[in-house]
Chain A
Amino acid sequence: MADILSPSAWLLALVQALLFPALAPLLAGWVRKVRARLQNRRGASVFQPYRELRKLLLKEARVAHTASPLFRAAPYVVFVATWLAAATVPLLTIDLPTAVVADIIVLAGLLALARVFLALAGMDVGTAFGGMGASREMMISALAEPAMLMAVFTLAMTAHSTNLGSVIAHHLGDAFVLRPSYLFAFAGLTLVALAETGRIPVDNPTTHLELTMVHEAMVLEYSGRHLALMEWAAQIKLLLYGVLVANIFFPWGVASDPAPASLAMGLAAVVLKLAVLGGALAAAETVLAKMRLFRVPAFLNLALLLALLGLLSHVILEVGA
């Protein structure tokens, strides 16, 4: 475990935390690019999300007359909370002081904080769409959160720790064993990740139809830098879940010491894993239509059930084995 007082460890943590906002638009751009190719389109460059963020940051931010100060504050809170949550996830190395101070429950809490502000901001201006989006988001997250925690607890029980670094370290230290509980937890967490990041089949990030939106409806009234922060936060969240799935279930390559060579190896590994995951996401989004809204609970119940099965199979098959 990292020395919590070592300045070099904190520096590493800072670099890793900065990598999240820096790489998040790239992942979004990559998913879009693969989607476009799968639809026989050429698609925009993978760097397009950076250009869009730059464009939005340079634009004037317009705020509705009916907006309260909360509306202006929400983008910053959402961005910072999502970023902090991301900073607790081991991206390159498990040897992180942030991972010591914040475990998976803090991560869920930070994401919940961001979500609360997002929903409040959606309702703040008083348009019908914002309120509708907020209510849908709350319905989805209320079901997604327990499923996510359940899936992660399955892993935590194996590693006897809710600390992500320890979970990954435990898994790395294990010889590669195919544990049924991991498979169940993996399936559950993947479904949760789709719902939480607003991807098809739960939400459609590219839609222009106000009445069908979930996440987009809440940020409909934002413009300029506010919108940029909201979009950026959403991209970080996508990367966060991608890294979570990639590094917990496929931990190979994650550096367990801060040597530059292992860090470079860690970066290459995570980029490769994310590229594969992003491609899989794009493929799923191409072959699936969006679900009817009231099918989403069944979808998330399935995630919860899978996670629960993971927990059960851990208790029944793996404890004491």
Chain B
Amino acid sequence: MSRFDWLSEFLARLDHDRPIPRQADADVLAPARRLDLAAEDWGAAGRIAAAMGLRHAGVWADPLGDRPSESPQESGSEIEGSAIRVQACLERDGDYLILQTLVLQTRPVLDSHTPLFPGVDRLERHARDLTGVRFHGHPDERRWTRHQAWSTDDFPLRTDFPIEGRSTRRTPADVDYPFARIQGSGVYEIPVGPVHAGIIEPGHFRFQAAGEDVLSLEERLGYVHRGIEKLAVGRDPQGLMRLAARVSGDSTVAYAWAAAQAMERAAGCAPPPRAMSLRALLAERERIANHLGDIGAICNDVGFAFAHVQCARLREQWQRRSAALFGHRLMMDTLLPGGVAHDLSETDFRELRLDHAALQKAIAPLFDIIDDHPSLDDRLIGTGILAQADARALGCTGYVGKASGLAFDVRRDSPYAPYDQVRVEVPEETAGDVAARVRVRMKEVRASLWMLDRLLDALPEGEIAAPFPSPQQGAMGLGLIEGWRGEILCVVRFAAEGRIARYFPRDPSWFTWPALERLIHGNIVPDFPVCNKSVNGSYAGVDL
């Protein structure tokens, strides 16, 4: 199959819509192609993408400030004054296309892609809250990331907004958010959160229920908005790595890798092969640790504490090994721009292999029990079904997509080193229920364990880090990593002297949170926790 066999058709259809010369350039945001569009073409590009069945992998805005000429590509454009660059990512068959356009900060209006791609609803609202770009035709005018910390006409990501913020006052309570209500006899509302009884991240869930049946669920997130994108501005590459590692703590390796990949592509830096293999080792360790935790937590949510305790024990041992070898239980700050921070010795190798064998042995009976326990089956099978059509419409990746028949995996479908050298098993289930999401996780644990040994077998000798050159002003890079939750996308643009001008990480949870709102339909209120846990969206990853 030739790469990008759909791109020419996409361009032809765009041309048919409005014939002007367009060229997708392959260099700036490799491995993705980049297509410059006029602002008027934005809506048409979305319609064609939807008609061709592309997956929308997110949209973000990048206020360029007063000097649009800082990136050489735009020097000839007719935009004057402050401009905002809007980019969107489309994907099919593992080929990525970045659409980009410029809008004026004084009149920042674009056609919305939300009516065709419901998954980008909150991403567009996020971009509007932070940069002021208004998406025409967006079905939902309500604020999203903005709670009460800044006012309606303040846009924190614009260059005139100070990094330290405008106010140090305590943020008022977010009280007047207009939730969609259902009226009727016997219909009542259940507000849950943002503070929960368990130790989990904050988020508010608003149920409309009749008896125990959930009529609708609406999520309200943004309680852990830390201003990640603004905090990135002006950092050096090392500083960005530390920040990226803290976007979502449970995916710290994946985020750090995505940021490193984006910066390395922008700077033209090639980390040594040993560093790439070690990164994969870290990422697979992270995947196994989180999946083990999730499998146990799902069982615990239906009162099956035995599996929870066993998984917690295995995960704890796994994380202690991570702490011993890499200095941190979650392996935070183990990646550097250009390489990794820790090498492994021969003794470490032996210990790791023993660990892998021990875990393999321990999960065999445990996963058998979880897979085939009547009392557990009764709760998990048929609960929280996400239809394949919904998963596709929203653009779900990771275990949520894989459990609903969408077997997409960046490691296999758009491979980056070292996954181009290793066979990546991508589990696929079609049932789309909680049980399927558990099975996908169990298969991924097994596949990752197998892969860890192959990575150790073929670990190249040599350096673990390459010097990171200072990237040019305006250089951009795209990072695409398969985190344990799914595809993590991140874009980086450099300012002068190797400083960061824009960093945007897009968590897979942007698409799985809306999936949760859909899959809960037809379920009862007490089954929500297990549905939620089976999706396990990241709060921090989308609150940014």
Instruction: In the A-B complex, list the 8 residue pairs whose CB atoms are closest, starting with the nearest.
Output: A290-B303, A289-B304, A208-B198, A204-B303, A39-B309, A128-B190, A209-B529, A212-B526
Q: Given the complex, which residues of B lie within 8 Å of A97, measured CB to CB? A: none
What's the Cα separation between A39 and B369 when bound, in Å? 14
B533 and chain A: residue at smallest CB distance: A209
| Interface of chain B residues 503 through 531 with chain A (CB within 8 A) | 524-529
Min Cβ gap A38→B in Å is 7
Min Cβ gap B532→A in Å is 9
Q: A40 within 8 Å of B by Cβ?
A: yes
Stretch from B32-40, B69-77, B370-378, B494-502 forming part of the interface with A: B370-378
What's the Cα separation between A295 and B309 when bound, in Å? 26
Q: B115 within 8 Å of A by Cβ?
A: no
Among B189, B190, B299, B302, max chain A CB count under 10 A is at B302
| Interface of chain A residues 185 through 234 with chain B (CB within 8 A) | 200-201, 204, 206-212, 220
Q: Given the complex, which residues of B lie within 8 Å of A40, measured CB to CB? A: 309-310, 313
What's the Cα separation between A128 and B302 when bound, in Å? 21
Could you list which residues of chain B lie within 8 angstroms of chain A, going by C-beta atoms?
188-192, 196-198, 212, 299, 301-306, 309-310, 313, 373, 375-376, 378-379, 524-529
B198 touches A290 (CB 8 A): no
Choose one: A128, A207, A220, A295; the contact of B303 (CB below 8 Å). Answer: A207
Given A128-B191, A289-B379, A294-B212, are A209 and B306 also a contact pair (CB < 8 Å)? no
Given A40-B310, A40-B313, are A292 and B198 also a contact pair (CB < 8 Å)? no
A132 touches B305 (CB 8 A): no
B527 and chain A: residue at smallest CB distance: A292
A38 and chain B: residue at smallest CB distance: B306
Min Cβ gap B317→A in Å is 13
What's the Cα separation between A292 and B304 when bound, in Å? 12
Q: A65 within 8 Å of B by Cβ?
A: no
Q: Given the complex, which residues of A lie within 8 Å of B197, measured CB to CB? A: 208-210, 220
Min Cβ gap A279→B in Å is 16
Beta-carbon contacts of A277-289 to B below 8 Å, as 1s and 0s?
A: 0000000011111
What's the Cα separation between A206 and B197 when bound, in Å? 12
What's the Cα separation between A38 and B304 when bound, in Å? 12
Could you list which residues of chain A lie within 8 angstroms of chain B, going by C-beta atoms?
35, 38-41, 128-129, 132, 200-201, 204, 206-212, 220, 285-295
A209 touches B309 (CB 8 A): no
A211 touches B303 (CB 8 A): no
Q: Given the complex, which residues of A lie within 8 Å of B189, measured CB to CB? A: 128
A290 touches B302 (CB 8 A): yes
A288 touches B375 (CB 8 A): yes
What's the Cα separation between A39 and B310 when bound, in Å? 7
What's the Cα separation between A294 and B304 when bound, in Å? 18
Q: Given the complex, which residues of B lie within 8 Å of A38, measured CB to CB? A: 306
Q: Given the complex, which residues of B lie within 8 Å of A39, measured CB to CB? A: 305-306, 309-310
What's the Cα separation between A286 and B299 when bound, in Å? 12
Among A209, A289, A293, max chain B CB count under 10 A is at A289
A290 touches B190 (CB 8 A): no
Min Cβ gap A209→B in Å is 4
A289 touches B527 (CB 8 A): no
Given A39-B305, A40-B313, A209-B197, are A290 and B524 also a contact pair (CB < 8 Å)? no
Q: Given the complex, which residues of B lie within 8 Å of A206, measured CB to CB? A: 305
Choose one: B306, B524, B527; the contact of A286 (CB below 8 Å). Answer: B306
What's the Cα separation between A287 and B374 when bound, in Å? 10
What's the Cα separation between A201 and B190 when bound, in Å? 25
23 contacts between A and B (CB under 8 A): A38-B306, A39-B310, A40-B313, A41-B309, A128-B188, A129-B190, A132-B525, A201-B375, A206-B305, A207-B303, A209-B198, A210-B192, A211-B192, A212-B301, A287-B375, A288-B304, A288-B375, A289-B304, A289-B375, A289-B379, A290-B379, A291-B378, A292-B379
B523 and chain A: residue at smallest CB distance: A292
Choose one: B196, B304, B309, B529; the contact of A212 (CB below 8 Å). Answer: B529
What's the Cα separation between A304 and B401 when bound, in Å? 44
Q: Given the complex, which residues of B lie within 8 Å of A288, measured CB to CB? A: 303-304, 375
User: 9 additional contacts, CB 8 Å, given A209-B197, A289-B375, A292-B379?
Assistant: A35-B305, A206-B305, A210-B197, A287-B306, A289-B299, A289-B302, A290-B303, A290-B379, A292-B524
What's the Cα separation between A201 and B304 when bound, in Å? 9
A286 touches B301 (CB 8 A): no
Q: Given the complex, which residues of B lie within 8 Å of A286, measured CB to CB? A: 305-306
Choose one: B188, B303, B525; the contact of A289 (CB below 8 Å). Answer: B303
A212 and chain B: residue at smallest CB distance: B526
Min Cβ gap A37→B in Å is 11
Q: Given the complex, which residues of A lie within 8 Å of B376, measured CB to CB? A: 289
What's the Cα separation between A208 and B192 when bound, in Å? 13
A293 and chain B: residue at smallest CB distance: B526
What's the Cα separation between A207 and B197 when bound, in Å? 9
Min Cβ gap B377→A in Å is 9
A289 touches B373 (CB 8 A): yes
Min Cβ gap A31→B in Å is 13
Q: Given the complex, which residues of A lie within 8 Å of B309, measured CB to CB? A: 39-41
A209 touches B301 (CB 8 A): yes
Min Cβ gap B515→A in Å is 19
A205 and chain B: residue at smallest CB distance: B303
Min Cβ gap A113→B in Å is 26
Q: Given the complex, which residues of A lie within 8 Å of B302, measured CB to CB? A: 289-290
